[in-house]
Amino acid sequence: MNDAHELDAVGLLCPLPVLKARKRLQKLSSGDLLIIAADDPAAVVDVPHFCTEAGHILVSADTNGPIQRYTIRKG
């Protein structure tokens, strides 16, 4: 069964949310989920681009409101 993990990146600016996500994903097993909370406006572009480049799947992106939530499945 896949595990879900959370990363609080609120208050961090580009490129820190993606760098912290990369570091956290390295420790996870393929198929695990990482849920990121961020408020950096650049995350809307950075997180999907990171997923594409690193071979992960962006399962969902909730960008409404001050805190954005991204769910990534490790590739």
Burial code of 25-38, b = ≥16 C-beta within 10 A, e = fewer?
beebeeebbbebbb
At residue 26, what is the residue type?
Answer: Q
Q: Is 1 exposed, middle or buried (0-12, 13-18, 19+ CB in 10 A)?
A: exposed
| Residue 51 a catalytic site member | no
Q: Which residue of the set 12, 14, 37, 61 is catalytic?
A: 14
What residues are annotated to the active site?
A: 14
